[in-house]
Structure 1
Amino acid sequence: MHRHGAEGWDMADQDAATGLTRVVILGAGFGGLETARALSRTPVEVTLIDRHNYHLFQPLLYQVATAALSPGDIAWPIRSIFRRQRNVTVVMAEATRIDPAAKLVHAGDGLAFPYDALVLATGATHSYFGHDEWAPVAPGLKQIEDATDIRRRLLLAFERAEVTRDEAERRRLLTFVVVGGGPTGVELAGAMVELARNALAREFRQVDPAMARIVLIEAGPRILPTLPEELSRVALRSLERMGVQVLTGTRVTRCTADGVECGEERIGASTIVWAAGVVASPAGAWIGAERDRAGRIQVGPDLSVPGHPGIFAIGDIAAATDAKGRRVPGIAPAAKQMGRHVGTLLAARAAGRPEPGPFTYRHHGDLATIGRRSAVVALDSMRLTGLIGWWFWGLAHVWYLIGFRSRVVVSFEWLWSYLTYQRGARLITGREPPGGNATPVPGQDGGALVADPQAQNDNTRQAQRLWG
């Protein structure tokens, strides 16, 4: 029988059948995994729910999109991760509703999960700032499906450029636009250049991949705005030296299958990647929590949700602040620290020990790689750039990978790419209907292909108008 007092919730609430407190964690990202791990030696029943059966290392997702790594290199089965932690039950399901009064999480297929403590770690998705109609032609990069879709678009553009006879259309096909100058956008742009000029060099006969035009568009005054200004300048110079066209202070006003519009200027492009913003998952709306403009839940000092006893929010869905009142960034180390804090707090309550104090975020630094042998790193008072920064960036990311095998595989892939300039994951996947002259159709998810000669003629005429 559950006991809920007016002052909040009591960790003595227990499942009548097992005598154990029930902790439900929504989301198996960095924060969710860390929460479950922190409860490994605690007499509680943990139910970890995720719509996928794998944990994804999102910081390296852009390397899947640019054919440097395969999905299996940066994703691990959740059940495998917790195979030795007997108090964790993994459920593959998609949560659809939360009933705080009944303390139930509802999911598809009529599933319902009772809880005594609920941890929301459902993350965030792409934000198009009110223009969700751009999503089919300008995919973001949050899931494996996004990465393989972008990889397909990139590689197909070169294949189509090889066979087209129209020079204007070829230029459009070899133009790639990245919207957003944060770490994801910068890393994507640099990786696209290396794919075109190194990995694909000398492999085509009718087109030179090195002629590809990479455009990075940032609405703010500088790229990498969270890094010190001097490092932003270093990154800008590195990108420009590689051949990336960087447009700062430029706002995208429209995205179509043929390119982007920035006010009166139009850039014809075959591929657009959106890296300009995120919005939190709807879990905050499900419980009626107070949220900020990006949908993140306003949390208390211990990461609990005010007005909802027993519910916590961590990671990208939480609008948390540090001891100095600064917003905790939406990065993997922050999510892991939040998860560890909530897990430790729940473990203390279950054991009747004193609870930890308010959540304290420790920022270990900011870093971004620009390309081969180039990165920028800000560590407190230390600044690293160039080759040293690149080595530090690589070691840091390998360290955070799960499992010895993944660390070895990713390290070997990077070493092989460094020595040979090759990329071993250049697969064009995804079903296409039979027939020639397939061309992207605006408004279809994933840039689906149809055999439509008229559409191709229309695209060619449009490219001729754009390029003259």
Structure 2
Amino acid sequence: MSKPRVLIAGLGDTGLLTAIHLAKNADVVGVSAKPGLVSGQELGLRLAKPAEWVRDYWISFDRYRQLDRVRILHGTLVGLDANAKRVTVRHPDGGQSAEPYDALVISTGVSNGFWRRPDLQTIDEVDAGLRAAHERLAAAGSVIVIGGGAAAVSAALNVATAWPDKQVDLYYPGERALPQHHGKVWGVLEKRLRERGVGLHPGHRAVVPDGFACDDITADPVSWSTGQPDEKADAVLWTIGKVRPNTAWLPAELLDEDGFVKVDQHLQVEGRPGVFAIGDVAASDPLRNSARSRADHLLAHNVLASLNGGRLKTFKPARRRWGSVVGAQQDALEVFAPNGSSFKLRPWSKLQPLVVRMAIYKGIRRS
């Protein structure tokens, strides 16, 4: 008896894990615009210490042992015919193919700044982009980081740590940064930012220039809709959470008014049995928390249950953001819980292969 065919649309952090969980029990096909996992996590480390970031967050698909069973297509998704159960993929040479499925997982993520883009890229293009952003900041004497989320805090702290002689300033619209985390988290990281000499500027909301998608490092003066004088720096990082779901290839009836995929409590697309969505692209809860809540195991179960007539599990999202905010520091990875408490994994350089490469991904070959 042949296995059911599951198509994973997008092999970012969560799509890749879902493919790994399903590979033993299904014929899995993954579609990715990248030639490997190019994670959207840990922006600060990506900018300040790209060699360390690449080791953990930019890994070609052929190194994942559990993907040996998965057929991976390098291309972009350009259409879905939900009634016929097939997606259309455009390949790097411009040709297209129709890929059938029995179940579909939508995990195409969002676009958010220069570090999370849906562009079709080669290995050399990914590497060039990483180098360019790092070198741009390395050459800057002063850096402004705009935004109050985890990416902004991570960027400010890691840039100030890597280059202590730079003037780094963090501007955010609220009274505190990290408003979606427990207040204790900001209390801890505010102190560390000040210790690194980062200037903290609450109550600043930037004016986004017309037509600017916040996907470049700029050097133009920054204006504020909150009335403060313009500010200028050699490099300006726009980490303002201006996310755009990568759903242009999907029919409008599957999307909410903001373009995210409408799902029920099982992460199943409303009105489409056998079609699921996970990660930042899925409108699962106000924080779109299914990726951070590690719902990949639950989703894999629900995909197989939908194909075999089994019972689907309910996704229960966390009410606050949680996890690592600034990445590994001084060989320790600090993880914040939803209640604001934290614990450190150290020495991270020795634990990372066990926790990530073996426990989470079930084996990654050496580069």
Q: Which has the larger radius of gyration?
A: 1
User: TM-score with structure 1 length normalisation?
Assistant: 0.63
Counterpart code for 2:279: G
The correspondence for 2:269, drawn from 287, 292, 305, is: 305
CA distance in structure 2 between the partners assigned to 1:243 and 1:71 by the alignment: 23
- Matched residue, 1:178: 145
Q: Cα distance 1:312–1:280, how it changes in 2: closer, same or farther (>3 A)?
A: farther
Q: Cα distance 1:219–1:69, how it changes in 2: closer, same or farther (>3 A)?
A: same
Aligned length: 336
- Matched residue, 1:25: 8
- Matched residue, 1:417: none
Do structure 1's residue 342 and structure 2's residue 316 form an aligned pair? no
The correspondence for 1:49, drawn from 31, 45, 56, is: 31
CA distance in structure 2 between the partners assigned to 1:293 and 1:223 by the alignment: 27
Counterpart code for 2:180: T
CA distance in structure 2 between the partners assigned to 1:185 and 1:217 by the alignment: 9
Are the counterparts in 2 of residues 48 and 91 from structure 1 also a CA contact under 8 Å?
yes
RMSD: 3.4
Do structure 1's residue 273 and structure 2's residue 237 form an aligned pair? yes
Question: Which structure 1 residue ranges, 5 or more long, are not aligned?
Answer: 1-17, 127-138, 158-173, 198-209, 410-468
CA distance in structure 2 between the partners assigned to 1:319 and 1:291 by the alignment: 9
- Matched residue, 2:193: 239
Counterpart code for 1:306: E
60-69 or 239-248: bigger deviation = 60-69
- Matched residue, 1:402: 357
CA distance in structure 2 between the partners assigned to 1:189 and 1:370 by the alignment: 12
Q: Cα distance 1:235–1:70, how it changes in 2: closer, same or farther (>3 A)?
A: closer
Q: Trace 1:5-404 onto structure 2 (pairs within 5 A).
A: 19-42=2-25, 44-67=26-49, 69-70=51-52, 72-73=54-55, 74-82=57-65, 85-86=68-69, 88-108=70-90, 109-126=95-112, 139-142=113-116, 144=126, 147-157=130-140, 174-197=141-164, 210=165, 212-254=166-208, 257-263=219-225, 264-283=228-247, 286-292=250-256, 294-321=258-285, 327-329=287-289, 332-334=291-293, 336-337=294-295, 339-350=296-307, 352=308, 354-361=310-317, 365-369=322-326, 372=329, 377-379=335-337, 383-384=341-342, 389=344, 391=346, 401-402=356-357
State the SS of the aligned residue for 2:151: helix
Counterpart code for 1:268: K
Report the CA distance between 1:395 and its aligned residue.
8.4
70-79 or 28-37: bigger deviation = 70-79
Q: Cα distance 1:66–1:329, how it changes in 2: closer, same or farther (>3 A)?
A: same
CA distance in structure 1 between the partners assigned to 2:237 and 2:47 by the alignment: 10
Report the CA distance between 1:142 and its aligned residue.
2.4
- Matched residue, 2:121: none
Question: Which structure 2 residue ranges, 5 or more long, are not aligned?
Answer: 118-125, 210-217
286-295 or 270-279: bigger deviation = 286-295
CA distance in structure 2 between the partners assigned to 1:367 and 1:333 by the alignment: 10
State the SS of the aligned residue for 1:289: helix
63-72 or 356-365: bigger deviation = 356-365
Q: Cα distance 1:400–1:178, how it changes in 2: closer, same or farther (>3 A)?
A: farther
Q: Cα distance 1:224–1:293, how it changes in 2: closer, same or farther (>3 A)?
A: farther
CA distance in structure 2 between the partners assigned to 1:85 and 1:79 by the alignment: 7
State the identity as a percent: 22
> Per-residue CA shift, 1:244-265, capped at 9, x if unaligned?
1111121111466333222452
Q: Cα distance 1:343–1:234, how it changes in 2: closer, same or farther (>3 A)?
A: closer
Q: Cα distance 1:84–1:23, how it changes in 2: closer, same or farther (>3 A)?
A: closer
> Per-residue CA shift, 1:351-377, capped at 9, x if unaligned?
x36223322346894442388569875
Report the CA distance between 1:85 and its aligned residue.
4.3
Counterpart code for 2:316: T
The runs of at least 4 consecutive aligned structure 1 residues that moved more than 6 Å come to 392-398
State the SS of the aligned residue for 1:106: strand
Q: Cα distance 1:68–1:101, how it changes in 2: closer, same or farther (>3 A)?
A: closer
Q: Cα distance 1:397–1:96, how it changes in 2: closer, same or farther (>3 A)?
A: farther
CA distance in structure 1 between the partners assigned to 2:53 and 2:341 by the alignment: 32
CA distance in structure 2 between the partners assigned to 1:92 and 1:393 by the alignment: 32
Q: Cα distance 1:295–1:279, how it changes in 2: closer, same or farther (>3 A)?
A: farther
Are the counterparts in 1 of residues 86 and 99 from structure 2 also a CA contact under 8 Å?
yes
Report the CA distance between 1:56 and its aligned residue.
2.7
Are the counterparts in 1 of residues 42 and 151 from structure 2 also a CA contact under 8 Å?
no
State the SS of the aligned residue for 2:192: helix
CA distance in structure 2 between the partners assigned to 1:312 and 1:284 by the alignment: 17
Are the counterparts in 2 of residues 57 and 401 from structure 1 also a CA contact under 8 Å?
no
Report the CA distance between 1:315 and its aligned residue.
0.6
Counterpart code for 2:264: G
369-378 or 22-31: bigger deviation = 369-378
CA distance in structure 2 between the partners assigned to 1:370 and 1:344 by the alignment: 30
368-377 or 21-30: bigger deviation = 368-377
> Per-residue CA shift, 1:313-333, capped at 9, x if unaligned?
111100113xxxx64426x43
User: TM-score with structure 2 length normalisation?
Assistant: 0.79
Counterpart code for 1:345: N
Q: Cα distance 1:269–1:383, how it changes in 2: closer, same or farther (>3 A)?
A: same
State the SS of the aligned residue for 2:292: helix
